[in-house]
Structure 1
Amino acid sequence: MLKPLSLALFLIAGSALSTGAMAQKASKNPPPSAASRTVQGSTPYAQRPDAMQFADDLAVRRDLDPEWVRATLGQARFLAQVPKLVLPPTQGTAKNWAAYKSRFVEPIRIRAGVRFWQKNSAALARAEREYGVPADIIVGIIGVETIYGQQMGNFRVIDALATLAFDFPDAHPRAQARSEFFRRELEQFLSLVQRNGTDPFAPRGSYAGAMGLGQFMPSSWARYAVDGNGDGQIDLFGSAEDAIASVANYFIAHGWTSGMPTHYAVSFDPAGADMDTLLAPDILPTFSAASMAAKGAIVQGTGAQHSGPLALVELQNGDGAPSYVAGTENFYAITRYNWSSYYALAVIELGQAVAQARAGAR
């Protein structure tokens, strides 16, 4: 989750962390292993005055051992490929919903999703019951993010976060804001591992520092991750139960309403629609079904009686005609995981495809 980006670290106060990569506990913060101290071909941040000043300031803000913060951050390494990966795509590539969908709603993910659902059916049913988030939405998220844990990322999280905190590419249109975002994420990450005595060089994740089955960023883990299996620990790497409950909790925190559809089909008045007005709010639900109809977009089926606000969501199809849906507040909640209507609809349709395949297998 870049996602915001997606992506989270669990509440530090009083919680214990256990992950497949992070569960190397010690009574005090362990020294990094020799293998974790270097990353070939990169530059240590111990040589960067700005990084060391950040470490000193962080130690004061978080009441952490300043020597530990400096020593730990000083061993983070610049990853030359990471700044390239966060740059927006070059101009001239048209958005294409059909092509985007084909990357996620495809046989490999569907088969893996059926296995994941079968193995974790009790946890998914419990999350649906306790949080009101349908199992297929949770399954869709984890499938799109990591193919159910198969691709959780191979970048050392501390290196990825430090690179984007101190060397975010100037060519990015939002370079300053994004650099500040990653400095906050780095602070959350260092606070977590220091207080829990875990190896700060062990966790692996995405190039943006997202971790676990659901690709939570450190701040999201801190705010929304929960102990789904009741063992007193939060493990978003190795515990599907924790990951499932945490994804559901994330959606509740971002306005998910139990029982509300995510979207409805929409058609247009042959006499024409006021597309400029309808598309101006983008994915933010703004119009009632009646006001959309008055502007020439007719919500189909039960959507005509939908009581909440709706958004006319446009999905471009390259050189072809765009696709449209009327997105509800629950559709908008999915975009809080990744700010993209294409992402949200891929999550929805992958979850539906897995549910259908599972029903067929049964």
Structure 2
Amino acid sequence: MTFLPKSISRLSLLLVTSFGLMACSSSNVASEAQTAQYKQAFIDKQLAAGYDKKTIDFFLSQGHYNQAVINAITTPWEAKPWDQYYPIFLTQKRLDAGLTFWDEYQDTIEKAAEQYQVEPEIIVAIIGIETFYGKIMGNYSVVDALYTLGFYYPPRADFFRSEFANLQDLTQEEHLDIKSLKGSYAGAMGYGQFIPSSYRHYAVDFDQDGRRDLLNSPIDAIGSVANYFHQHGWQQGAPVAIQLEQTNNKPDNLNVWAGKKPEYQVLDFIPYLPSSSNSIQNNALNPALLIELEQASGNEYWLGFNNFYVITRYNRSPLYAMAVYQFSQALKDAHTHPDRGTNL
């Protein structure tokens, strides 16, 4: 799971920061001092956690600065408008791969869906969006990525330094070879792209071989993704999102969701709901949020429910959550009705 900048204005700020970091050398004393401060904070935290100084220093020595990581985090795909974002993920090739994966691991997926009360298509969609079913897990060194962001990237240094600490714990707990760990520029790894803290807290040994292996075991990954959603409050059978009528016009007096817990109720959206949504209107007090999708012809507006918010706990971008939801529906339809073909 990757946590990314959310707005163009913030993106601009991060770009300025990254260019400053490119010049972070002996001539830039302030940046060096800040990095030294970050490293001392990390050492102090790990000493308090029970590590000895020699072990901490050795772990720090395993990480190296990587400018490509800074470049990647300051130009995320989630900064694109929706009409340019969704074609990256909602493709026929990914749908076909998802159906193949579902067929291959159907018993495991059904078991995870039942045990954790999460729809199977959501599990399959997440793994497909994240890594194309294990084909694209990332080529960044995880230790270098977290080292770079934790000690050289002030906008998110505290968060990524904490992940760097979790990586030290994780490699010991799961007996991982730190030098061989590859993942995303944000240090996410495995079939489901779990950052170290999520790996430690939500991974499960679903194949019962004595290891929680999200790097090589699709079965562990399936169970772990389902557990992640369960632990974050997924409600099986509940709606995820629905497109509003008068789609090009923003509903009056309602703010577009900005990352916090849903601040509205379904009741606030009733004038904008399609006439076929009686079951949704019958739950008028349920939490709700407003989603804006930028299309070339104008904006679309959607009502998002609690389950949509849960998807954003995996990745905070509403574009990501919408891509997962729409891909899951295409998977469900194609898997349920194979006679219709598998066209996305």
TM tier, shorter chain?
0.7 to 0.9
User: 1:201 is matched by which residue type in structure 2?
Assistant: K
* Counterpart-to-counterpart distance in 1, 2:254 and 2:193: 33
> 156, 179, 192: which is aligned to 1:214?
192
How much has 1:281 moved relative to structure 2? 4.6
Q: Deviations over 1:312-343 (max 9, x none)?
A: 2111114x221122111001110111112211
Q: What 5-or-longer segments of structure 2 have no aligned partner?
A: 6-24, 26-34, 340-344
- Calculate the TM-score normalised by the size of structure 2: 0.81
How much has 1:292 moved relative to structure 2? 2.2
> 80, 92, 113: which is aligned to 1:128?
113
> 276, 291, 302: which is aligned to 1:325?
302
Aligned residue runs from structure 1 range 104-123, under 5 A: 104-123=89-108
- Residue aligning to 1:3: 3
Cα 1:292–1:356 shift into 2, 3 Å:
closer
Q: What 5-or-longer segments of structure 1 have no aligned partner?
A: 6-42, 169-174
How much has 1:89 moved relative to structure 2? 6.2
- Residue aligning to 1:258: 236
- Residue aligning to 1:61: 48
> 58, 77, 85: which is aligned to 2:64?
77
3-state DSSP of counterpart to 2:264: coil
3-state DSSP of counterpart to 1:215: coil
Q: Is the 8 A contact 2:234 2:307 kept in 1?
A: yes
How much has 1:185 moved relative to structure 2? 0.2
1:240 and 2:218 correspond: yes
3-state DSSP of counterpart to 1:212: coil
* Counterpart-to-counterpart distance in 1, 2:250 and 2:136: 43
- Residue aligning to 2:181: 203
User: 1:226 is matched by which residue type in structure 2?
Assistant: V
How much has 1:55 moved relative to structure 2? 5.4
Cα 1:213–1:287 shift into 2, 3 Å:
same
User: 2:125 is matched by which residue type in structure 1?
Assistant: G
How much has 1:117 moved relative to structure 2? 0.5
- Calculate the TM-score normalised by the size of structure 1: 0.77
Cα 1:347–1:281 shift into 2, 3 Å:
closer
* Counterpart-to-counterpart distance in 2, 1:88 and 1:236: 27
Of all paired residues, the percent bearing the same amino acid is: 36
1:279 and 2:278 correspond: no
Bigger helix fraction: 2
How much has 1:197 moved relative to structure 2? 4.3
* Counterpart-to-counterpart distance in 2, 1:78 and 1:273: 44
- Residue aligning to 1:346: 323
Q: Is the 8 A contact 1:154 1:206 kept in 2?
A: yes
Q: Is the 8 A contact 2:206 2:219 kept in 1?
A: yes
The count of aligned residue pairs is 307
Q: Is the 8 A contact 1:282 1:311 kept in 2?
A: no
Q: Is the 8 A contact 2:39 2:151 kept in 1?
A: no
How much has 1:199 moved relative to structure 2? 2.3
* Structure 1 vs Structure 2 CA RMSD: 2.7
How much has 1:194 moved relative to structure 2? 3.2
Q: Is the 8 A contact 2:62 2:143 kept in 1?
A: no
Q: Is the 8 A contact 2:4 2:73 kept in 1?
A: no
3-state DSSP of counterpart to 1:326: strand
Q: Is the 8 A contact 2:134 2:190 kept in 1?
A: yes
Query: Deviating runs (4+, > 4 A) in structure 1?
Result: 48-52, 280-284
Q: Is the 8 A contact 1:79 1:163 kept in 2?
A: yes
Q: Deviations over 1:165-193 (max 9, x none)?
A: 1111xxxxxx34x1110100000001222
